[in-house]
Amino acid sequence: VDEHCYNDSTFNCESHDDSTGVKRPPRSFDVVGDVALIHSGVPKNDINLSDQESNHVNESAYFATIGEAIMKKNKAIKVVALRTSALGGNERCCGESGIKIIAGNQRSPLITTHSEYGIKCVVDVERTFFSPRMGPERLRICQQVARGEKVLVLFSGCGMDALQIAGRTEACEVVAIELNPVAAECARRGQRMLSRNKGVKCPGAAERLTILEGDVLEILPKLERHSFDRVLAPRPKEGKMDGDLGAGDGGRAFLDVLLPVMKPSGGECHWYDFAASHELPACNRTAESIRRACDVVGCGMEIIHVASVGSVAKRQNRVCVDFRLIENR
């Protein structure tokens, strides 16, 4: 499947399909491998039903109709699933009860292989977190990696970030850390596929990748200090109030353990945070949090890039703040 995310601009057929009764598929959904994942309920006015019929429509048949319409639009999709609960827990996943298959194969567990720019990873849709919408951001990061860099990927999930860097760049070493054992196993399976991927131009890609399973807060203090040229840190959201509302520490605990493993002169970090729309584009709150953490370890820093990389809720964004360490003289 070439397109990983569909929205109004890609699915805007207004005329209904007489065979399914659907005016159009839902306005936005993700495609992960051969699975179409709908993130919220679909308005009943997207189905060609009268008001009276809408009051009595069977919910299962309703969603099945939506799923069939999506599969008819894209023959590569074999399963259509509806996310019925919010992401939760340390794993940032829905769990088996939070995903409902509404069309296609009743696959359990719901595992698929996702391809992005020629690199494949394994995704357990129910028990791991993965966003195909971050594909362009992953490509941007790869374009920053220089030959011979040692790269650390935190909260690596199914491993796509680490697999992309190992397979597309000349980094000398890539280390990925993930707490969720299911996601870590997905990453290891992706590493095995990487070793067999003849389309990968960088020799020894799989051998340069190390996957560590465990808590970032426990593993990082055991790693060699001042050893990484680049760190990716897409930190997890600490509840609904995380962000400009002031709940949580803004990931400060993670900053405190990742800064010591970065090279103090020129080491770069791609720090992912959560910010309200009114904080864009500067994200001063996030920048100040990073600056305070750097002060504690006795190094300077400079911001080199700030951008929104997606929406997590109404007027709430995931942002990436790239910063570089500067050794104090």
- For 156-176, the pLDDT digits (tens) are 999 999 999 999 999 999 999
Q: How many helices (H) and strands (E) does the chain have?
A: 8, 14
pLDDT, tens only, 200-237: 988 899 999 999 999 999 999 999 999 999 999 999 88
Give CATH 3.40.50.150 domain extents, the chain.
Answer: 130-327
pLDDT, tens only, 42-90: 444 444 444 444 444 566 787 888 899 999 999 999 999 998 866 655 5
pLDDT for the residue 49: 43
Total residues found in the chain within this entry: 329
Query: Smallest Cα–Cα separation from 169: which of 152, 191, 197, 146?
Result: 146
> Mean pLDDT score of the chain, rounded to an integer?
85
Which CATH number applies to 130-327? 3.40.50.150
Angle between helices 160-168 and 181-196 in degrees, nearest 10? 20
DSSP 226-251: T-BSEEEEEPPP-STTBSTT-BS-TT
Rounded to whole angstroms, how far apart are CA atoms 212 and 95? 23
Sheet holding 5-6, edge to edge: 5-6, 29-32, 35-38, 79-83, 99-104
